[in-house]
Structure formats: structure tokens, C-alpha cells
Structure 1
Amino acid sequence: MPRVSEAHLAARRQQILDAAVRCFVRKGFHQTSMQDVIKEADLSVGAFYRYFKSKNELITAIAGDKISQVTSVLDELLAAEPPPAVPEIIERVLELIDRSVEEDGPVRIAVQVWGEAVHDPEVGALVADVYGRVRSRAVQIAERAQAGGQLHPDADPVGVGVALFGLIQGYILQRILLGNVDRKQYVNGVRALVTG
């Protein structure tokens, strides 16, 4: 029997993840069955379960992919010299969020996952890990901003970073629940808060 290439395995895995995103966005996390995802991916049951054993595994993979995009942007901005202003960093992240909401909707799944994290310890651990990575980078941004004179010397950079992370989550919630958030206006609000 011929060996399956890594590229084929990666493409099949992505096919499943794309199908799961479409199902979760269309029907919601709880209303989507594994059979729904298998049908959407146009695979046999055996082929599907070779890659994922549960909806939680699918959510873990989807969240990991999307959060890695956010952390990559933050890492790039953290490495920039001179460091960009905090509002510009927030705007770059919010642009990524807006594209994800408009393109294929995975950010819409985030709100469902947050709710599930309250009841499911496995999902809760995933959320804590994934969002902990973003929050730690927000703290690094605040530390760097303080070192560069963008924040008051007496400001608590951990507290500022945690608040910045909350502003990103708040934008996601408003974008999903209200739909009519003006990103420029939001960033101007962040700018007013940060610069006093």
C-alpha cells in the first residue's frame, strides 16, 4: 500500500477543520454533531476519526490556528524597532479579528467556546491556555510601552496588559453581538484611555 504524503495528510486535516468551522458557524457548537462535520467534509467516518476524535479536539485545533495568527502578529509587533504605539498594535489585532469575522467566521465560534469553557473542564483548560498566550503578549506590549515612555512610569504594566487583553475580547463580543462596531472609533477610544 503506498504511503500517504505529509502534504496529503495536512490537506485532509485542513479540509476537516474548514468543514467544522462552516458547521459551527451555521448551526452552533452544541447543535453540530460529528456526523454533520463528517458529511460537510465529504469523508468516511474512518477517514474523519483518523484525524479528530471529538468536537473538543476540533475546537482545540481551530482555536489554536486562529490564536497563532494573533500571536504571530503580536510577536512581529513586539520585535519592531521602534515599538509601535499601543493603539496601533490594538488596531492591527482588531483588523485581523474583522477579517476573520467577515471571511469565514471562526471568531464567531470564540463566543460559543467561551460559554462552553464555563461547563467543560477540557474546553476551559484550552481557553485558559490559548488566551493566556495572548494576554501574556499584551502584558509584554504594556511593559515595552512603559519602557519607551508611552505609559506613565508608575503604571502597572501587568494591569495595563490585562486591560488591553480585555479590550480585545470586548471588541470581539461587540462585533459578534452588535455587529456595528466602528474599528477606528474603538481604536481612538483605546488611544484616549492609554494616553490619558
Structure 2
Amino acid sequence: MARVSQAHLDARRRQILDGAARCFARNGFHATSMQDVLKEVDLSAGAVYRYFSGKDELIAAIFTEVLGEVRMSFEAATEQVPPPPPDVLIGSVLGRTFGARAHLAVDGEPVFSRLIIQVWAESLRNKDLAAVMIEGFEAIRLAWGRIVEAYQDAGMMPRDVPADHVARTMIAAAQGFIIQQTMLGPAPVEFLQDGLRALMGARDARSEA
């Protein structure tokens, strides 16, 4: 019997994960059955169970992948020296994040933002996945804290606000925009960038009176 190449094994695993991702994005983790996944990927049960023992293992694999892609998008932003202004930085992170699964779509819409929300919701009921979520968030928070410190060192931000507070706010802006993409329909990242730029330039009229 001919030996199956690693490339073939990897491609088959990718096929299963992508099909499961479409199913989960369409109907959620718990409303999706393994039969739904088998039908989506057009493979036998034996072919799928060779790679994944069941739906829980599929969920864990997609959970880890999605969080990993988000984390890489955030951490890649820390490599820019000096860092660009926050509106540009957050826009680049979101562009990279949305592009991570651009080849996958449900009803003509990219699945990635839907999957992220499914992943966040799943972490509320699964302590093991919640631990992975928290670990990833902490890594992102620390990385972006260093970006804020670079802003402060460059005189781009005042030092009277802790770097961690600013980092959490920047992360929240990105997370909130992801939710809007899913709940309210797609919108260009430039909308968020324009809004952030306006907020960054806001002045306290009371202090100028």
C-alpha cells in the first residue's frame, strides 16, 4: 500500500477544519452535529474520525486556531518600530484578523468574525478553553502595553494614564468592532479608524472656557 504523504494528511485535516468552521459559523457549536460536518466536507465518518475523535476535539482545534490567529495579528503589530498611531495600528490588526480566514464564507459572508464570537461564548461554559482564552488575552495585553509605553516614550501619549489601561481600551475597540461586524453587518475598518482619530483629537471645552 502506498504511503500517504504528510502533505496529503495536512490537506485533509485542513479540509475537515474548514468544513467544521463553516458549520459552526452557520449554526453555532452546539447546534452542529458531526453528521453536519461529514456532509459539509463530503467525507466518510472513518476519514474524519481518523483526525478528530469527535465534535469536542474539533471545537478545541478551531478554538485554538482562531485565538492563535487573533493573537498573531495583535502581536505582529508590536514589531513596528516606532509604532504607528493607534488608529492606524488597530486598523492594521483588524485587517490582518479579518483576512486570516478570508477564503471561508457562509452565505457570502466571511466566517471569521462569527467564529470569534462563537469562541468567546464557548469559553463561558468550558473551563479548559477559558484558560486558553485568558492566556491569549494576557499575552496580547502585555504586548500592547509595551506599545503604549513606546507611545509615551515618544511623547505621543501622556504618562499620567497607566499603559495597561490604554492597552485594554485599544483591545476593547478592536473586539467591539469585531462584534459589530457580526451583529450589524460588515463595515470597512476605515470607519473605526476615522472614529478613533476623531476621539484622539477631542478636546475638553470646559477647560478652555
Q: What's the TM-score once normalised by structure 1's chain length?
A: 0.84
Find runs of 4+ consecutive structure 1 residues off by over 6 angstroms: none
Per the alignment, do residues 107 and 58 of structure 1 end up closer, same or farther by CA in structure 2, a change over 3 Å counting? farther
3-state SS of 2:155 partner:
coil
Structure 1, 1-10 or 100-109: larger mean CA deviation:
100-109
Give 1:102 shift. Answer: 6.3
CA distance in 1, matches of 2:187, 2:90: 15
Distance across 1 between alignment mates of 2:123 and 2:76: 29
Q: Describe the SS at the equivalent of 1:133.
A: helix
Shift of 1:88: 0.9
- The match for 1:45 is 45
Deviation at 1:132, TM superposition (A): 3.5
Deviations 1:19-63 (A, max 9, x none): 101111222221111221123222222321222224343233324
Mapped to 1, the partners of 2:4 and 2:150 lie a distance apart of 46
Counterpart for residue 115 of structure 1? 121
Q: Report the CA distance between 1:172 and its aligned residue.
A: 0.9
For residues 77 and 97 of structure 1, do their structure 2 counterparts lie closer, same or farther at Cα, with a shift above 3 Å needed?
A: closer
What is the distance in 1 between the residues matched to 2:186 and 2:12? Answer: 36
1:186 corresponds to 2:192: yes
Deviation larger for 24-33 or 120-129: 120-129
Q: 1:126, CA displacement in angstroms?
A: 3.0
1:147 aligns with 2:156: no
Within 5 Å, which residues of 2 pair with 1:154-165?
A: 154-165=160-171
Matches of 1:132 and 1:39, distance apart in 2: 38
Contact 1:100 1:107 in 2 (8 A): no
Equivalent pair of 2:38/2:44 in contact (CA under 8 Å): yes
**TM-score normalised over the length of structure 2:** 0.80
Where do residues 9-48 of structure 1 align in structure 2 (5 Å cutoff)?
A: 9-48=9-48
| Deviation larger for 102-111 or 168-177 | 102-111
| 8 Å Cα contact 1:73-1:93 kept in structure 2 | yes
**CA RMSD, Structure 1 to Structure 2 (Å):** 2.5
Query: Which runs of 5 or more structure 2 residues have no equivalent in the other structure?
Result: 105-110, 203-209
* Whole-angstrom CA distance in 2 between matches of 1:139 and 1:96: 20
SS for the counterpart of 2:78 is: helix
1:16/1:180 Cα in 2 relative to 1: closer, same or farther (>3 Å)? closer
Counterpart of 1:5 in structure 2 is 5
Larger Rg: 2
Structure showing the higher helix proportion among its residues: 1
Give the whole-Å Cα distance in 2 for the aligned partners of 1:77 and 1:170.
18
Q: 1:173 and 2:173 equivalent?
A: no
CA shift at 1:180, angstroms? 5.1
The alignment of Structure 1 onto Structure 2 pairs a total of residues equal to 196
**In terms of mean alpha carbon deviation, does 167-176 or 116-125 score higher?**
116-125
For residue 68 of structure 1, what is the amino acid of its counterpart?
A: G
Give, in angstroms, the shift of residue 81 of structure 1: 2.6
Identity of aligned residues (%): 38
CA distance in 2, matches of 1:27, 1:189: 32
Q: 1:44 to 1:160 in 2, by over 3 A?
A: same
Specify every segment of 5 or more residues in structure 1 that has no aligned partner in the other structure, as ranges. none
Match of 2:107 in 1: none
Moved more, 175-184 or 60-69: 60-69
